[in-house]
């Protein structure tokens, strides 16, 4: 058993239990007390073992919503999540988990591995209380209380390593359920569509199951095992060494099946190593060969070191221990997804970049993907190539991408996000075959040959429903117009130019907001009205000018009461992300001080430490990456070459970019000193509240003098508007 936490640098500040439970946040005061929540106050994260962007994760499994870990049932409103399991318990350790999502249809949790201490397979399918839980990046452990079995698990990128320690008088077993999948609440199970498994002696097995249309190949090797066998429907299959589940069977009616392994003597531990692939058994063997005979302790140490390297891309100086824990736990969650399945494309025999778990791309594109592409441009190269492969194969760019074979992706929340993402990547200098990407964008959505879908409807009508999608599509056309202009595609530019101005068709000039005659997803028209657009001058003019626009924002955030007869749908805080960039719109009206007040209010009242430290679903890191940027005192504008300057909480932040560090020095940073008084960029006075992307590079230093009262800094400047 590992006695000490691994990881010597920034990973030591990470708490994987953050966001696992219902929110327990500081009592909100001031305007923060007026904000509302659209979604359950729970992060929906899990504490399982996983490497950065890891293909494989492993965690205790109860079958609860939404990751498989914990006690909760389905919750889709702002009410506290319902508790469906009376105690904290688990059936075993499952593999592949979502992170911080909501209801997304596919919930993974494959190859459920259960320790047993009774006769035969007695206890299989029965729950045990979990105690003595510990977790740090790349490692998870707990005791299965009733069986007195201690389990610890760690991961590599493509394998999981478990160790089970049994009581001295018990010859322990592990049973692996190859038919397990999904959740055990609200008919959210997944079932194998076909499969096969073969024993290779008393301590190993190899096979494949197809779950949600995806083949999951596996190789299992069990150290300490003296006997092994197959089981079906809870009973050992005597003398059988292989089983085939043919395609076309009734998946839900097929009995559960799997393999079991037994220790050679009483009290002897069992170590289970599982290699995974979506392509072949040979790749599973290669995944296990990476760790070979390395002890679990060494594998866990290497996982923690890997996390230290990733989390070392940002170094913070000063600040309290609580703030550091909040920051690096958020950074950790920002680097869990998308899961990197490089060379594991299950739809093609070609190697190359491949990712899953773009479950919440409508949240990730604003903050998380700009963060990842800023810190790891080479990662961005792979991601761009992957998106191009999906569009080539499926005939469209995705708005979500799960570990399933279901091209009819969820598109209720947003449209055209990849157009903004790809324009953002090109703008940030990510290397790619941009001519190929632009032709794909044109051919799959913008070309006149495309006769169906929202892009075609938008081209015909200059407006689509829900009206928030009109903003999406105007933004998508802006991104493509910029890309076409840079690459010299005049025809695409000319086609996109008039459409990028059509955002105003969704607006009500009488209110300065989005029209009310629409079905807004997880929010209301107010929540979608304050988006950073490529035409902020036009947006503010439509609202009646800067004074009227600031008044709208003030009513939205709670600084002012509603007008007579007016219904204001207030800011969702960060309980949900449709209005996550809204605080920063104050910059466009010369009020960076007001933006600082809201952002610091969010950080102070909407985030904390411990299992209840998140205000809502983490959404694959979209929520956490907002906190990372905002605590650094910066905010990216997705698809536009602008970094807004916020209110840093640390005296010093160093982002390790290509070419050197970008440093943010916040003189006098303190919880009460939230306002920028003066600013300098590379020693020269800076009188604007934004950086051009060309100024955001290694070797530069932004110095901010902070104070406890608003100042006149940057009130005469405005971030650029790219149309008006």
CATH code for the domain defined by 518-724:
3.30.2080.10
CATH code for the domain defined by 41-309:
2.70.98.10
Q: How far out from the chain centre does Cα 1 lie?
A: 31
pLDDT tier, 448 (very low <50, low <70, confident <90, very high otherwise):
low
Fold identical between 41-309 and 518-724? no
How large is the angle between the packed helices 622-632 and 321-334, nearest 10 degrees? Answer: 140
d(CA 345, CA 277): 10
- Spatial contact of 702 and 625, defined as CB atoms under 8 Å apart: no
Task: Say if residue 618's pLDDT is above 80.
Answer: yes
pLDDT, tens digit, for every residue of 511-522?
A: 999 999 999 999
- Spatial contact of 288 and 201, defined as CB atoms under 8 Å apart: no
What was the pLDDT predicted at 406? 86
What was the pLDDT predicted at 101? 94
pLDDT, tens digit, for every residue of 361-383?
A: 999 999 999 999 999 999 999 99
Task: Say if residue 407's pLDDT is above 80.
Answer: no
b/e string for 331-353 if b means 16 or more Cβ within 10 A?
bbbbbbbbbbbbebbbeeeeeeb
The rounded mean pLDDT for the chain is 96
Average of per-residue pLDDT across 335-348: 97
d(CA 657, CA 424): 17
Show me where the domains of the chain are located. Answer: 41-309, 358-508, 518-724
What was the pLDDT predicted at 206? 98
Determine how many CB atoms are found less than 10 A away from the CB of residue 356: 23
pLDDT, tens digit, for every residue of 69-118?
A: 999 999 889 999 999 999 999 999 999 999 999 988 899 999 999 999 99
**Biggest alpha carbon–alpha carbon distance for the chain:** 82
CA angle at 586 for the pair 584 and 592, rounded to the nearest 5°: 85
What was the pLDDT predicted at 21? 97
Q: What is the 3-state secondary structure (H, E, C) of 215-268?
A: EEEEEEEEECEEEEEEEECCEEECCCCEEEECCCCCCCCCCCEEEEEEECCCCC
pLDDT, tens digit, for every residue of 544-574?
A: 999 999 999 999 999 999 999 999 999 999 9
Determine how many CB atoms are found less than 10 A away from the CB of residue 711: 15
Nearest to 160 by CA among 274, 302, 296: 274
Nearest to 222 by CA among 282, 267, 161, 169: 161
φ/ψ (deg, to 5) at 229: -170, 180
Evaluate the CA torsion angle 705, 710, 714, 720 in order and state its sign: positive
pLDDT tier, 538 (very low <50, low <70, confident <90, very high otherwise):
very high
Indicate the DSSP class of residue 412.
Answer: S
How large is the angle between the packed helices 467-487 and 434-441, nearest 10 degrees? Answer: 140
Average of per-residue pLDDT across 215-228: 98
Evaluate the CA torsion angle 473, 475, 480, 481 in order and state its sign: positive
Nearest to 123 by CA among 86, 164, 162, 90: 90
d(CA 188, CA 194): 19
Give the CA count within 13 Å in the CB-facing half-sphere of 87: 11
Residue-wise DSSP of 250-315? -TTTSPPEEEEEEESSTT--EEEEEEEESS-HHHHHHHHHHHTT--HHHHHHHHHHHHHHHHTTEE
Coil, helix or strand at residue 417: helix
Evaluate the CA torsion angle 412, 413, 417, 420 in order and state its sign: positive
d(CA 148, CA 167): 7
pTM of the model: 0.97
d(CA 351, CA 130): 40
φ/ψ (deg, to 5) at 193: -90, -20
Task: Say if residue 532's pLDDT is above 80.
Answer: yes
pLDDT tier, 460 (very low <50, low <70, confident <90, very high otherwise):
very high
Q: Give me the count of residues in the chain.
A: 724
Per the rule left: phi > 0, alpha: psi between -120 and 50, beta: everything else, 31 is: alpha
What was the pLDDT predicted at 232? 96
Determine how many CB atoms are found less than 10 A away from the CB of residue 509: 12
Task: Say if residue 456's pLDDT is above 80.
Answer: yes
Task: Say if residue 599's pLDDT is above 70.
Answer: yes
Task: Say if residue 297's pLDDT is above 80.
Answer: yes
Burial of 456 (0-12, 13-18, 19+ CB in 10 A): middle
Q: What is the dihedral of CA 243, 247, 248, 254, to 10 degrees?
A: 30
d(CA 315, CA 620): 23
Q: How far out from the chain centre does Cα 210 lie?
A: 25
Residues contacting residue 692 through CB under 8 Å, at least 6 positions apart: 641, 642, 643
Average of per-residue pLDDT across 185-212: 96
Coil, helix or strand at residue 146: helix
Tokens of 467: 């009206």
């Amino acid at each position: 058993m590992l006695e000490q936490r691994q990881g010597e640098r920034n990973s030591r500040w990470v708490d994987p239990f953050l966001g696992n439970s219902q929110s327990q946040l500081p009592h909100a005061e001031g305007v923060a007390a007026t904000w509302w929540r659209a979604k359950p106050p729970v992060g929906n994260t899990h504490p399982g073992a996983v490497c950065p962007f890891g293909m494989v994760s492993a965690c205790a499994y109860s079958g609860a919503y939404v990751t498989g870990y914990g006690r909760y049932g389905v919750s889709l409103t702002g009410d506290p999540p319902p508790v469906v399991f009376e105690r904290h318990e688990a059936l075993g350790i499952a593999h592949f988990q979502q992170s911080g999502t909501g209801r997304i249809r596919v919930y993974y949790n494959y190859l459920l591995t259960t320790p047993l201490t009774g006769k035969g397979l007695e206890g299989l399918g029965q729950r045990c209380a979990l105690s003595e839980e510990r977790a740090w990046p790349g490692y998870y452990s707990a005791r299965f209380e009733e069986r007195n079995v201690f389990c610890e698990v760690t991961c590599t990128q493509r394998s999981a390593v478990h160790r089970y320690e049994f009581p001295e008088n018990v010859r322990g077993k592990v049973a692996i359920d190859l038919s397990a999948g999904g959740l055990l609440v609200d008919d959210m199970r997944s079932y194998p569509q076909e499969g096969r498994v073969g024993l290779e002696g008393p301590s190993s097995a190899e096979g494949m199951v197809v779950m949600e249309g995806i083949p999951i190949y596996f190789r299992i090797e069990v150290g300490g095992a003296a006997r092994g066998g197959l089981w079906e429907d809870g009973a050992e299959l005597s003398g059988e060494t292989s089983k085939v589940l043919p395609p076309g069977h009734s998946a839900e009616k097929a009995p559960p099946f799997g393999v079991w392994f037994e220790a050679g003597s009483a009290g002897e531990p069992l170590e289970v190593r599982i290699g995974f692939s979506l392509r072949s058994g040979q790749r599973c063997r290669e995944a296990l060969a990476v760790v070979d005979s390395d002890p679990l302790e060494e594998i866990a140490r290497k996982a923690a070191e890997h996390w230290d390297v990733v989390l070392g891309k940002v170094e913070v100086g000063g600040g309290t221990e609580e703030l550091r824990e909040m920051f690096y736990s958020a950074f950790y969650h920002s680097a869990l997804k998308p899961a990197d399945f490089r060379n594991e494309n299950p739809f093609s025999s070609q190697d190359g970049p491949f990712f899953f778990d773009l479950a919440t791309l409508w949240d990730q594109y604003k903050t998380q993907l700009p963060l990842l592409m800023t810190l790891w441009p080479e990662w961005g190269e792979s991601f761009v190539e992957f998106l191009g492969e999906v569009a080539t194969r499926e005939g469209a760019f995705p708005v979500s991408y799960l570990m399933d074979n279901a091209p009819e992706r969820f598109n209720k929340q947003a449209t055209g996000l990849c157009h903004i993402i790809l324009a953002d990547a090109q703008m940030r200098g990510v290397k790619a075959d941009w001519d190929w990407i632009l032709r794909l964008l044109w051919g799959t959505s913008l070309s006149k040959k495309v006769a169906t879908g929202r892009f075609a409807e938008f081209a015909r009508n200059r407006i689509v429903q829900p009206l928030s999608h009109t903003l999406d599509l105007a933004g998508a056309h802006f991104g493509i117009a910029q890309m076409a202009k840079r690459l010299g595609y005049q025809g695409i530019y000319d086609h996109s130019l008039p459409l990028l101005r059509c955002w105003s068709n969704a607006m009500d000039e009488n209110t300065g907001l989005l029209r009310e005659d629409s079905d807004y997803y997880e929010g209301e028209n107010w929540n979608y009205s304050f988006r950073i657009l490529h035409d902020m001058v036009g947006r503010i003019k439509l609202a009646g000018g800067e004074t009227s626009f600031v008044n709208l924002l003030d009513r939205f955030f709670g600084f002012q009461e509603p007008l007579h007869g007016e219904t204001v749908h207030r800011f969702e805080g960060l309980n949900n992300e449709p209005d996550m960039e809204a605080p920063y719109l104050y910059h466009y009206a010369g009020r960076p001080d007001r933006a600082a007040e809201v952002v610091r209010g969010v950080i102070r009242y909407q985030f904390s430490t411990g299992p209840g430290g998140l205000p809502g679903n983490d959404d694959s890191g979209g929520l956490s990456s907002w906190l990372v940027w905002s605590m650094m005192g910066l905010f990216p504008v997705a698809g536009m070459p602008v970094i807004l300057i916020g209110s840093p909480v640390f005296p010093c932040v160093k982002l390790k970019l290509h070419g050197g560090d970008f440093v943010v020095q916040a003189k006098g940073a303190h919880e009460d000193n939230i306002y920028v008084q003066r600013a300098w960029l590379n020693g020269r006075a800076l009188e604007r509240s934004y950086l051009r992307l060309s100024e955001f590079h290694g070797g530069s230093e932004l110095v901010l003098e902070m104070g406890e009262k608003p100042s006149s800094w940057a009130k005469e400047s405005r971030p650029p508007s790219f149309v008006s």
